[in-house]
């Protein structure tokens, strides 16, 4: 005897990536330098999944990054630098050095 179950709202898989929250309060973002040797450690340690291997190079998705700095601290090659910025709905405005 099959019951007629009510239709309940459910979320589309992975839909939080469409409107990430971290970007609103980000203060700095990583920039990957030439020293990167694709060891992939930063990708494992990123809480947001903002780092990805694209065309054989590690790339940052600034839509997802919330600027914790874990990748820059953990990078064995010290290839990642954190750049201060303002971010939000209107885009990213890098800060000049010494004005933080």
Partner 1 sequence: MRKGGELVKMTLKDLPQQDLFGPGNAGCRGCGAAIAGRQAMKVLGARTIITMPASCMATLSGLNQKTAWSIPFYHTLFEIAPAVSSGIRASLEAQGIKDVNVVSWAGDAGTADIGFQSLSGAAERNDNIIHVCYDNEMYMNTGGQSGSQTPIYAMTSNQQKGKRTGKKDMLKIMVAHDVGYVASATISHPLDLAEKFKKAAAHDGFSYIHIMAPCYRGWNIPTDQSVATARKAVESGFWELYEVVDGKKTRTHEPSFIPVSEYLMSQGRFKNLSTEQVKEIQDAVNSHFGRKEAK
Contact status, residue 50 vs residue 26, Cβ threshold 8 Å: no
Residue 92 sits in the site that holds partner 1 (CB under 8 A): no
Reduced to 3 states, what is the DSSP secondary structure of residue 50?
coil
Q: Which of 43, 62, 83, 84 binds partner 1 (CB under 8 A)?
A: 43
Which of 58-66, 83-91, 92-100 is the region at the interface with partner 1 (rule: CB under 8 A)?
A: 58-66
Q: Which of 74, 77, 83, 84 binds partner 1 (CB under 8 A)?
A: 74
Token pair listed for 93: 């405005």
Contact status, residue 38 vs residue 5, Cβ threshold 8 Å: no
> How far apart are CB 55 and partner 1 at their closest, in Å?
12
> How far apart are CB 26 and partner 1 at their closest, in Å?
8
Token pair listed for 92: 């990213």
């Amino acid at each position: 005897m099959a019951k007629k179950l009510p239709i309940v709202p459910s979320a589309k898989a992975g839909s939080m990536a469409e409107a990430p929250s971290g970007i609103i309060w980000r203060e700095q973002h990583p920039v990957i330098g030439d020293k990167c040797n694709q060891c992939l450690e930063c990708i494992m340690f990123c809480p947001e999944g903002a780092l990805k291997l694209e065309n054989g190079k590690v790339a940052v998705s600034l839509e997802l990054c919330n600027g914790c700095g874990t990748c820059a601290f953990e990078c064995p090659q010290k290839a990642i630098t954190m750049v201060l910025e303002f971010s939000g709905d209107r885009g990213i405005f890098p800060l000049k050095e010494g004005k933080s």
